[in-house]
Structure 1
Amino acid sequence: MFRLADNLRVYLHRDPIDFRAGINGLAILVEQNMGHNPFERAVFAFCNRRRTRMKLLFFDRSGFVLVLKALSEDRFRWPRREEKVLALDAEQLHWLLDGIDLDAMIRHPVRQYEYVG
């Protein structure tokens, strides 16, 4: 299993895509539909209509990398939110790849304290 850097931004395209799209088609989708620069330090995640396949696209210093994960018997638990593009962190992407429902996960809020008391 591969691991992405913890500080990497992840953008998830919520609607299913035509999975015949390759690197160029996905890079255009990132730029025109998602409103992001496909060359930025980020991973862009896409899923097919049946939620059995996921593609990850990212630019790695000298070229694009396209990763495909295909499930034979299960489905990805794609978030059911209104936003067209969801911002995730690398940990949440790994959870999604492992079959965890992100909508069911609730984290403790981040707290900022100014003194110990």
Structure 2
Amino acid sequence: MLAISHSCCYFLYRSPSDMRFGIYSRAGLVGSELGRDSLRCFCFLGKRGNQVRWLQWDRDGFALYIKRLERGTFERSAAAVADGR
């Protein structure tokens, strides 16, 4: 189950990402492009904005949560919009 808490740092990957990537591809993306360890939570939005994938370190391994909207899109953060992404 996805649990959001104040004790964890959450990051939004600003560029649209390939929704075909799995857990290890996303963890590699976080390490190589963002220069961060993957022991945090990262949110990836799809190009069309109707799908989100959430990568979270869960005590003994990674968990990948997926949500796809049937209608509408997820709202991008003001910071991501300001960067033109």
**TM-score (norm: length of structure 1):** 0.64
Q: 1:72-91, aligned counterparts within 5 Å?
A: 72-79=70-77, 80-82=81-83
Say if 1:53 and 1:68, in contact at 8 Å, map to a contact too: yes
Q: Deviations over 1:39-58 (max 9, x none)?
A: x2x21000110000000001
| Unmatched 5+ stretches in structure 1 | 85-117
1:35 is displaced (CA, Å) by 1.3
Q: Deviations over 1:6-40 (max 9, x none)?
A: 221101001101110000100000001111101x2
Q: Give 3-state SS (helix, strand or coil) of 1:31's partner.
A: helix
Q: Give 3-state SS (helix, strand or coil) of 1:24's partner.
A: helix
Question: Which residue is equivalent to 1:33?
Answer: 33
1:53 maps onto 2:51 in alignment: yes
Structure 1 segments of 4 or more deviating over 6 A?
none
Say if 2:2 and 2:65, in contact at 8 Å, map to a contact too: no
**TM-score (norm: length of structure 2):** 0.87
CA distance in 1, matches of 2:84, 2:23: 24
Question: Which residue is equivalent to 2:62?
Answer: 64
Say if 1:14 and 1:83, in contact at 8 Å, map to a contact too: no
| Unmatched 5+ stretches in structure 2 | none
CA distance in 1, matches of 2:3, 2:16: 24
The AA in structure 1 aligned to 2:4 is: L
CA distance in 2, matches of 1:83, 1:9: 24
Size of the alignment, in residue pairs? Answer: 82
CA distance in 1, matches of 2:22, 2:2: 21
CA distance in 1, matches of 2:58, 2:18: 24
